[in-house]
Amino acid sequence: MSAALLQVSGLRVNFGHIEAVKGIDLELHEGQITTLVGANGAGKSTTLLALSGLVKKAAGRVMLGSMDLSKMAPHKIVANGVVQVAEGRATLTTLTVQENLELGAYARRDKGNRAADLAHIYSLFPVLKDRANGLAGNLSGGEQQMLAIGRALMAKPRVLMLDEPSMGLAPLIVQDIFRILRDINQAGLTIFLVEQNVRQALKIADRAYVLETGSIVLSGTGRELLVNPKVQEAYLGS
């Protein structure tokens, strides 16, 4: 097994008196896709926001290799290589497609390779190249999701975290998004995927965790959980 690139230990998040994330442990291994699945309200998005530094942790440690991200500001977490694609895509609709992509590289220290990286993003998402000078707000939902992923890739992440990338998209577009994620991963990028589309997520995941009401209740390979009777009954309609 590859080395653990990102380690999360004892992560807790509280909203007032409500404990949304209850001391979870998980690992992302370098070059793998890890998925966190579960029902709506299980705490999946809160977990990602805590890892990105966007919500306060009540307890826990987040390590990227030997670097402690636990109390780091969000922009520094991005600069150190942990980049999140937010739920709902969060494209800047009054800017052009290319301006959105260029903003993804804002925190990068290396300024010289942006043109080559932009060309690479356009090779991954040809529809974005065709619409590079158009407003992002005129893109379809699927195209905006591609733009959000492309913008995150422009930050040159070591870990790419995605929150519900299939949400609200037509089935054929969902297949395209997941195919692109597999391709990006096969090129070497470590991915942490949060999804309600449990079947699709487990199909592409090397490792998977099931979150229920803030606690991890199952873990294993994606293939193991795909055939797990409890997962089938609860999430796959089997």
Which of 39-43, 84-88, 106-110 has the highest mean predicted lDDT (pLDDT)? 39-43
On whether residue 35 sits in a domain, the answer given is: yes
The total number of structural domains that make up the chain: 1
On whether residue 114 sits in a domain, the answer given is: no
DSSP per-residue string spanning 133-194? TSBGGGS-HHHHHHHHHHHHHTT--SEEEEE-TTTT--HHHHHHHHHHHHHHHHTT-EEEEE
| Sign, CA torsion 121/123/127/132 | positive
On whether residue 107 sits in a domain, the answer given is: no
Q: What is the CATH number of the domain that holds 167?
A: 3.40.50.300
On whether residue 173 sits in a domain, the answer given is: yes
Q: What is the pLDDT of residues 53-62, one digit of tens each?
A: 999 999 999 9
Q: Residue 100: phi, psi to the nearest 5?
A: -60, -45
Q: Which pLDDT band, with edges at 50, 70 and 90, does 114 fall under?
A: confident
Q: Does the pLDDT of residue 50 top 70, yes or no? A: yes
On whether residue 179 sits in a domain, the answer given is: yes
Look up the domain containing 217 and give its range. 4-90+152-235
On whether residue 113 sits in a domain, the answer given is: no
Q: What is the pLDDT of residues 199-226, one digit of tens each?
A: 999 999 999 999 999 999 999 999 999 9
pTM tops 0.75, yes or no:
yes
pLDDT for 222 equals 96
pLDDT for 106 equals 81
Q: What is the mean pLDDT of residues 89-116?
A: 84
On whether residue 201 sits in a domain, the answer given is: yes
Q: What is the pLDDT of residues 135-165, one digit of tens each?
A: 999 999 999 999 999 999 999 999 999 999 9
